[in-house]
Amino acid sequence: MTEIQTIGFEKLSEQEMRDFEKISEEYTNKITRKLENISNFRIKLKEHQKKGPSKRYSISALIETNSNSIEAKAEDWDLKKALHILFKKLIAEIEHKFHSSNQNRR
Protein backbone atom coordinates (compact mmCIF):
# COMPACT_ATOMS: atom_id res chain seq x y z
CA MET A 1 0.00 0.00 0.00
CA THR A 2 1.17 3.49 -0.81
CA GLU A 3 2.15 5.76 2.06
CA ILE A 4 0.29 9.09 2.06
CA GLN A 5 2.14 12.13 3.34
CA THR A 6 -0.38 14.32 5.18
CA ILE A 7 0.03 18.01 5.95
CA GLY A 8 -2.32 19.98 8.22
CA PHE A 9 -4.18 16.96 9.62
CA GLU A 10 -3.01 17.45 13.22
CA LYS A 11 -5.93 19.89 13.75
CA LEU A 12 -8.57 17.24 13.11
CA SER A 13 -10.53 15.49 15.82
CA GLU A 14 -10.20 11.73 16.39
CA GLN A 15 -13.48 11.05 14.57
CA GLU A 16 -12.40 13.16 11.59
CA MET A 17 -9.08 11.28 11.45
CA ARG A 18 -10.90 7.93 11.47
CA ASP A 19 -13.13 9.19 8.64
CA PHE A 20 -10.07 10.31 6.68
CA GLU A 21 -8.28 6.98 7.18
CA LYS A 22 -11.32 4.97 6.09
CA ILE A 23 -11.99 7.06 2.97
CA SER A 24 -8.33 7.36 1.98
CA GLU A 25 -7.76 3.61 2.33
CA GLU A 26 -10.73 2.86 0.08
CA TYR A 27 -9.62 5.25 -2.67
CA THR A 28 -5.88 4.58 -2.34
CA ASN A 29 -6.52 0.95 -3.24
CA LYS A 30 -8.33 2.08 -6.40
CA ILE A 31 -5.57 4.54 -7.28
CA THR A 32 -2.74 2.05 -6.81
CA ARG A 33 -4.52 -0.41 -9.11
CA LYS A 34 -4.60 2.24 -11.84
CA LEU A 35 -1.12 3.67 -11.24
CA GLU A 36 2.17 1.92 -10.72
CA ASN A 37 5.43 3.41 -9.46
CA ILE A 38 3.96 6.12 -7.22
CA SER A 39 6.95 7.95 -5.81
CA ASN A 40 5.11 10.61 -3.80
CA PHE A 41 1.50 10.92 -2.60
CA ARG A 42 0.80 14.08 -0.62
CA ILE A 43 -2.47 15.50 0.74
CA LYS A 44 -2.63 18.98 2.25
CA LEU A 45 -5.55 20.15 4.40
CA LYS A 46 -6.49 23.71 5.27
CA GLU A 47 -9.34 24.72 7.54
CA HIS A 48 -11.02 28.07 6.99
CA GLN A 49 -13.11 29.11 9.97
CA LYS A 50 -15.52 31.99 9.66
CA LYS A 51 -17.49 33.44 12.54
CA GLY A 52 -19.42 30.67 14.24
CA PRO A 53 -18.95 26.93 14.57
CA SER A 54 -18.71 26.01 10.88
CA LYS A 55 -15.42 25.26 9.11
CA ARG A 56 -14.68 25.10 5.42
CA TYR A 57 -12.18 22.44 4.40
CA SER A 58 -9.84 23.01 1.48
CA ILE A 59 -7.90 19.91 0.43
CA SER A 60 -5.27 19.50 -2.28
CA ALA A 61 -3.49 16.36 -3.41
CA LEU A 62 -0.42 15.59 -5.48
CA ILE A 63 0.58 12.20 -6.85
CA GLU A 64 3.97 11.90 -8.49
CA THR A 65 5.04 8.92 -10.55
CA ASN A 66 8.28 8.35 -12.39
CA SER A 67 7.07 10.27 -15.43
CA ASN A 68 3.98 12.31 -14.47
CA SER A 69 2.33 14.26 -11.70
CA ILE A 70 -1.41 14.44 -10.99
CA GLU A 71 -3.02 17.19 -8.93
CA ALA A 72 -6.54 17.78 -7.63
CA LYS A 73 -8.25 20.19 -5.25
CA ALA A 74 -11.59 20.14 -3.44
CA GLU A 75 -13.47 22.34 -0.97
CA ASP A 76 -16.55 21.77 1.13
CA TRP A 77 -18.09 22.43 4.53
CA ASP A 78 -18.15 18.68 5.20
CA LEU A 79 -14.76 16.92 5.46
CA LYS A 80 -16.04 13.55 4.23
CA LYS A 81 -17.69 15.10 1.20
CA ALA A 82 -14.55 17.11 0.37
CA LEU A 83 -12.43 13.94 0.58
CA HIS A 84 -14.76 12.01 -1.72
CA ILE A 85 -14.70 14.88 -4.24
CA LEU A 86 -10.90 15.06 -4.08
CA PHE A 87 -10.31 11.34 -4.61
CA LYS A 88 -12.88 11.14 -7.42
CA LYS A 89 -11.11 14.03 -9.16
CA LEU A 90 -7.77 12.24 -8.77
CA ILE A 91 -9.16 9.05 -10.29
CA ALA A 92 -10.74 11.00 -13.16
CA GLU A 93 -7.43 12.77 -13.83
CA ILE A 94 -5.55 9.45 -13.81
CA GLU A 95 -8.04 7.95 -16.27
CA HIS A 96 -7.76 11.03 -18.47
CA LYS A 97 -3.94 11.10 -18.50
CA PHE A 98 -3.41 7.39 -18.95
CA HIS A 99 -6.62 6.52 -20.87
CA SER A 100 -7.30 3.77 -18.37
CA SER A 101 -11.07 4.07 -18.15
CA ASN A 102 -13.13 0.90 -18.50
CA GLN A 103 -15.66 2.81 -20.53
CA ASN A 104 -16.14 1.78 -24.18
CA ARG A 105 -13.92 -1.30 -23.92
CA ARG A 106 -14.86 -4.23 -26.11
Question: Residue 54: its pLDDT value, please?
Answer: 80
- Full DSSP string of 2-36: PPPEEESGGGS-HHHHHHHHHHHHHHHHHHHHH--
pLDDT tens digit string along 22-79? Answer: 999 999 989 988 887 888 999 999 988 777 678 899 999 999 988 889 999 999 999 9
**Alpha-carbon radius of gyration of the chain:** 15
Return the CATH number of the domain spanning residue range 5-91. 3.30.160.100
pLDDT at 15 over 70: yes
Asked whether the CA dihedral 18, 46, 2, 86 is positive or negative, the reply is positive
